[in-house]
A and B are shown apart, each in its own frame.
Chain A
């Protein structure tokens, strides 16, 4: 216990740093700005932030990512509520509901309830992270390459299965990500692979230009292709009133929803490939299913908003549990964060909990601080929402593209990285048009070296026997679980196809 308090006090000491506090505030403002603008996602905000984090301490870099993402996800509710355009995909589940509330003159209640439930969900997720991560880490210290291989493989499969309604496209995305991870020198022997004669590729593909290309350049291209310019606001909604008035009573009335959203969000967030948007959709439908008044859903009813609002923010913290303990990110944002941690020399894994305990405690505290900051900064963002929504989209896209160029270049002072950014922007855009999801590509890219390294190490230990992967009890259990999951998913996919074939045959007759 004394050890715990000494670590915690060291963590508080790390937080009491003017530079760190400034980083949190600036990143929060940036997150609120990006989140409040439709078409710009929280992942884009994180990808654009990464080049700047390169010049920060590891803790400041993580603090910037955590606060920026939490703010962006919550600010995404604002345009959804006011002009029916979700700021980020995580708000899409309940955009119609909040907009219906606005039309009924309840915009303040909609924004207030989603903000406060987001804070509660985020705080719950942060507490779970604080408790679960060290416990899991102490357990994971006993893991060998066999367990890590199965864990990484389960994480990857999960990402491929969840991220797309089409299993085949999810698998293709995953394989592309894993292949990209093989570019550069082989992790065991140092043999160059797929470097095409570029010395810049010998160390592998640089993660940051890829992220900027896939999440910033690609998003701008998507916006151009779908012509999803933000609507010019002709009808200015009435100023939003006191957003916290009566919210305490409302949250208390729907306390079960808040709790269920927070728990479900944290659990879903921890699943690789399932981010805040999936958590929000599931929570919203769960709220409707268990509601005493399901007929009110869609008419401007706060119940689903509160549950889904808590879920999407809780998912953010949940995603950090497997990311910190096993190095397996829960979503694209944590995948970027894992990449940043590795760049900073903080390789995620159970050893980190022994060697860098105060830094990890400081990271947990950052989650708490960022979520508490949501209340005043969220309030401010709601006040400033209308001028933000009036920023012309093309001008904003031009400025974002400028930062993409500069951000990609700044990592290695290399023009080559601008080419990488462009290539991945275009490839990601084309794959998006073909319905291939991005999430598994990122997870494959991050987890590829882990899967390969642990596979080859395990094969060497087991003397080339594949059965060796099942001989240790935990590894065996994980292996069987992985095979069962694949079997179940494959069966379901095959059954789906046979049903379709029967249906088609019937309609032919």
Chain B
């Protein structure tokens, strides 16, 4: 995907976001006796976002028709390697899974598994990944749960600690 087409898409998303924010802001209740209610400031921002989106769309169309030189920001980025891409997907997916199950499964199980998979994907040795994950999560658990008194979820290991 070229830079101009990415910008075009980004501009359209901004226009859409601006319109959506404006619609929600307009539905906010007005306050009796006040000219500016809770929806006023978000409405201003919505107009700004939509305007920026529109400029971005116009600029990218002009760029695509080659009448303009490239925009000042260089967005050409090299492709991501397969291993790193897998790790990137795992960071997002793994964190989302942790968000879903950490309360019931517990920090001391979820997070080491997340770390081990992350490191193994990136080519670290399994044995070392297990040792590092267990050691670091145990130390961090002790520091936060025992010293700082944070209620770190213990989940399935309840009763052991």
Asked whether, in the complex, the Cβ of B91 is within 8 Å of the Cβ of A220, the reply is yes
Inter-chain CA distance A497–B67, complex, in Å, is 11
A240 close to chain B: CB less than 8 A: no
A395's partner among B40, B41, B132 (CB-CB below 8 A) is B132
B19 within 8 A of A: no
Say whether B73 contacts A171, CB under 8 Å. no
Distance, CA A189 to CA B37, complexed state (A): 8
Contact among A182, A418, A508 for B95, CB-based, below 8 A = A418
A501 with B102: CB separation less than 8 A: no
In the assembled complex, how far is the CB of residue A34 from the closest CB belonging to chain B, in whole angstroms? Answer: 16
A 405-424 binary contact with B (CB < 8 Å = 1; else 0): 11001100101001101100
Q: How far is the CB of A209 from chain B (nearest CB, A)?
A: 11
Please name all residues of chain A whose beta carbon is closer than 8 Å to the beta carbon of B68 when the two chains form the complex. 497, 500-501, 504
A402 to B144, CA, bound (A): 12
B138 to chain A, nearest CB (A): 11
Q: Which residue of A lies closest to B94 (CB)?
A: A401
- Assess whether A224 is in contact with B73, with CB atoms less than 8 Å apart: no
What residues of chain B lie closer than 8 Å to A217, measured between beta carbons?
Answer: 91, 95
Asked if B98 and A456 sit within 8 Å, CB to CB, the answer is no
Q: Residues of A contacting B49 with CB < 8 Å?
A: 172, 175-176, 179
A178 and B45 contacting across the interface, CB-CB below 8 Å: yes
- The reply on A487 being an interface residue by CB < 8 A is no
Provide the residues of chain B in CB contact with A186, threshold 8 Å.
38
Q: A435 at the A/B interface (Cβ < 8 Å)?
A: yes
Report Cα–Cα, A425/B91, bound state, in Å. 10
Judged by a CB distance under 8 angstroms, whether A142 is at the interface is no
Answer yes or no: A227 CB below 8 A from chain B CBs: yes
Residues of B within 8 A of A392 (CB): 124
**A398 contacts B118, C-beta separation under 8 Å:** yes
* Residues on the B chain within 8 Å of A409, using CB: 102, 107, 150, 152
A52 to B149 CA separation, bound complex (whole angstroms): 11
A415/B75 in contact, CB under 8 A: no
CA distance A455 to B34 in the complex (A): 13
Residues of A within 8 A of B56 (CB): 168, 172
Determine if B45 and A224 form an interchain contact, defined as CB atoms under 8 angstroms apart: no
- Chain B residues near A18: list those with CB within 8 A: none
With both beta carbons as reference points, the residue of chain B lying nearest to A213 in the complex is identified as B95
| Interface residues as binary, B44-87 with A (CB distance below 8 Å gives 1, 0 otherwise) | 01001100100110010000001111011111011011001101
Q: What residues of B have a CB within 8 angstroms of the CB of A395 in the complex?
A: 119, 124, 128-129, 132
A397 interface contact, C-beta 8 A: yes
Give chain B nearest CB distance to A502 CB in angstroms.
10
* Cα(A165)–Cα(B72), bound, Å: 6
Give the A-B pair count, Cβ closer than 8 A.
Answer: 179
B148 located at the interface, meaning its Cβ lies under 8 Å from any Cβ of chain A in the complex? yes
Tell me the chain A residues, 103-156 only, with Cβ under 8 Å from chain B.
none
- Asked if A357 is at the interface (CB within 8 A of a chain B CB), the reply is no
The interface residues of chain A lying within 8 Å CB-to-CB of B71 are 166
**Which residue of A226, A397, A415 contacts B103 across the interface (Cβ within 8 Å)?**
A415
Contact (Cβ within 8 A) A191 B28: yes
> A55 contacts the other chain (Cβ, under 8 Å)?
yes
A16 at the interface (CB under 8 A from B): no
Interface contact B52-A500, CB-CB below 8 Å: no
Within 8 A of A (CB), among B116-157: 118-119, 122-124, 128-129, 132-133, 136-137, 140, 144, 148, 150-152
In the complex, residue of chain A having the shortest beta-carbon distance to the beta carbon of B74? A435
**B160 interface contact, C-beta 8 A:** no
Is the C-beta of A244 less than 8 angstroms from some C-beta in chain B? no
Q: Is A460 an interface residue (CB 8 A)?
A: yes
Q: Are B136 and A179 in contact (CB under 8 A)?
A: no
Known contacts A182-B42, A221-B88, A395-B124: does B24 contact A194 (CB below 8 Å)?
yes
Given contacts A194-B24, A217-B95, A397-B118, 15 further A-B contacts (CB under 8 A): A164-B73, A172-B14, A172-B56, A182-B42, A395-B119, A399-B115, A399-B136, A401-B95, A402-B111, A418-B98, A433-B75, A452-B41, A504-B66, A504-B69, A508-B66
Across the A-B interface, give the 3 residue pairs with the lowest CB-CB distance, nearest first: A186-B38, A435-B73, A191-B38
A-B contact pairs, 26 of them (CB 8 A): A52-B148, A165-B72, A169-B73, A175-B49, A189-B38, A191-B38, A193-B38, A194-B42, A224-B80, A225-B80, A392-B124, A395-B128, A398-B115, A402-B140, A406-B107, A410-B148, A410-B152, A415-B99, A421-B95, A434-B10, A435-B75, A456-B36, A459-B36, A460-B36, A464-B35, A504-B67
